[in-house]
Amino acid sequence: MRISVIGCGYLGAVHAAAMADLGHEVIAVDVDAAKVDALAQGKPPFFEPGLPEILSSSLASGRLRFTTDISEVAGASLHFIAVGTPQSENSGAADLRFVHAVIDALIPHLGSADVIVGKSTVPVGTAEALSHRLLAAGSSATLAWNPEFLREGFAIKDTLSPDRLVFGFGEGPGALQARSALRDVYSQAIASGTPVVETDLATAELVKTAANAFLATKISFINAMSEIAEVTGANVTELADAIGYDARIGRKFLNAGVGFGGGCLPKDIRAFSARAQELGLGSSVAFLDEVDAINLRQRERVIARVIADAGGDAAGLRVAVLGLAFKPHSDDVRDSPALDVAQGLLAAGADVVAYDPQAHGPALLRLPKLNLADTLEQVLVGADIAVLVTEWPEFVALDPRVAGDLMAHKRIVDARNVLDADTWRAAGFHYSSLGRP
C-alpha cells in the first residue's frame, strides 16, 4: 500500500520504517528539517535498538522516503498521524495544536477516498472534533483511530508484532473502507494471530488513555506500598512477589522504585484528568492525581535518601548518578525521574556527575550544567555515594568490588530495587533501596 506517516519522532520514525519493512511504500513527513535529513541518511536522531538496521534496509529498498514537504503525501491513500501531543504549558491538558496543524496541512492534498488514521495519544472526543474539522473544510476523507502501544526500547518488535490492534471508526460512509485499509496495512500481524478490537472512535481513544492510567496506577500502588513497608520494616519486593502470584494481580509493573516517567505515562494521566474535568467527571479519575503525586514523591524520596545516607549534608557531596533516561534501552529523558534526581541533588548543592549509556545528548539539552562521565567506571571515581536511577543492564551487572575500589566511600542507593543487597553489603557497601529493610 502507499501510505504516509506524519510526525517522525519516537513513534512515527519507527512506524514509517516498520511499515516499509512490511512491504508498503511510505512517505514520512516531519516539520523538523534536521530530523528529516538525519532519517533520510539512515541515522535516527534518537536511540532505539534495531531502528538503524530497519531504517537502512527500508531506505535501500526505495520503499521509504522522508520529506518536510506535506504535499508529497498526495500519492498515498492512507495517512498515519504520529505527531506529539505534549502537556500544555499552563495546565495538565494535552496540547493538541500539532494534531490540528497536521489535519489542516493535509486537507488540500487529500483524495476523496483517503483514510486518515490517528496514532497519537489524544483525549477522548478529539477524533470526533477532527472529523468535523475535515467535513467543515469540504473534505470527504475518512478519519479512523488506531492508538499505538509500542514501548520505547522494544518499539520495532512492538510495531511489527503488536500484542493487539485497536481500530476505531466513525459512523460515516467511509468506515467500511477505513476498516479494509487498516486490515490490509496490518495484514501480516493479523494473519499471524494478533487480536483486533474494532470499535468506535471514542473507545479507541479511551483504550490508550485507560491502559496508561492503569499501568501508572499499578506502579504508584507498589510505590505507596514501599512507603508503608519502609516505616513498618516490611519488604516491598517480597510483598510484590507474593501478591504477584495471584493471576488477577500479576507480577509485572510491580517493581517499587523511583517511579515512571517518559513522554507518555505522566502527561497521559494528567491529560486524562484534565479531560475528565472538562466532561464534568473529574471525580471519576481523581485518583490519577494521587497516582501522579505518589510518583513525583518517589523522586524526592530518592534525593532525600542519597543525602541522608551520605551523612545529611549535600554541600560538596560527590554523587555518581547512574542513569538519565527514563528507562533502559532508550535515550528519552522526557519527564525522566533520573534527570529530576540529578537536578534535585545539584540544587541541594551536591557535586553531581552522571553517566548514561545513551542519554547524554538529550540530557544536556535539558540540564546544560550537568557534569557527565564517559564511562560507568569514570562516574564512580572519587564518588562519596552512587545512586542507581535507570536500570540499564550494565548497572545491574556492576561488580560491587570494582565499584568499591573506585569510589571514595562505599555507599549506594538502589532507586530501582534491582541490585542484590546481600552481595553489595558483603562487599562492604552501605546499601539502601526503597521499601526494603
Interface residue list for ligand NAD (CB under 6 A):
6-12, 29-32, 35, 82-85, 98, 101-102, 105, 120-121, 148, 150, 152, 263-264
User: 220, 187 in Cβ contact below 8 A?
Assistant: no
The rounded distance, in Å, linking the Cα atoms of 36 and 432 is 45
Q: In the beta sheet, which residues pair with residue 142?
A: 115
Q: Least distance (Å) from ligand NAD to the CB of residue 156?
A: 12
Q: Least distance (Å) from ligand NAD to the CB of residue 330?
A: 8
The closest residue (CB) to ligand NAD is 9
- Nearest 5°: phi and psi at 183? -65, -35
Q: In the beta sheet, which residues pair with residue 432?
A: 413
Nearer to ligand NAD, 21 or 309 (CB): 21
Q: Least distance (Å) from ligand NAD to the CB of residue 26?
A: 14
Burial bucket for residue 378 (CB in 10 Å: 0-12, 13-18, 19+): middle
Nearer to ligand NAD, 102 or 373 (CB): 102
CA dihedral 133, 136, 138, 140 (to 10 degrees): 50
Work out the angle between the directed axes of helices 126-136 and 201-232 (0-180°, nearest 10): 150
Nearer to ligand NAD, 155 or 239 (CB): 155
Q: What is the largest CA-CA distance in the chain?
A: 72
Nearer to ligand NAD, 148 or 335 (CB): 148
**CB burial string 383-401: b at 16+ within 10 A, e below:** bbbbbbbbbbeebeebebe
Q: Least distance (Å) from ligand NAD to the CB of residue 396?
A: 22
- The C-alpha cell at 163 is 500484542
The rounded distance, in Å, linking the Cα atoms of 378 and 373 is 6
Nearer to ligand NAD, 114 or 152 (CB): 152
The rounded distance, in Å, linking the Cα atoms of 415 and 430 is 14
Q: Least distance (Å) from ligand NAD to the CB of residue 119?
A: 6
The rounded distance, in Å, linking the Cα atoms of 70 and 106 is 7
Nearer to ligand NAD, 102 or 345 (CB): 102
What is the DSSP code (8-state) at residue 94? B
**CB burial string 150-187: b at 16+ within 10 A, e below:** bebbebbebbbebeebbbbbbeeebbebbbebbeebbe
Q: Least distance (Å) from ligand NAD to the CB of residue 268?
A: 6
The single residue of 83, 264, 307, 321 carrying the catalytic annotation is 264
Nearer to ligand NAD, 1 or 101 (CB): 101
What is the DSSP code (8-state) at residue 286? T
Strand 142-145, strand 165-169: pairing:
antiparallel
Is residue 8 annotated as part of the catalytic site, yes or no? Answer: no
Active site residues: 264
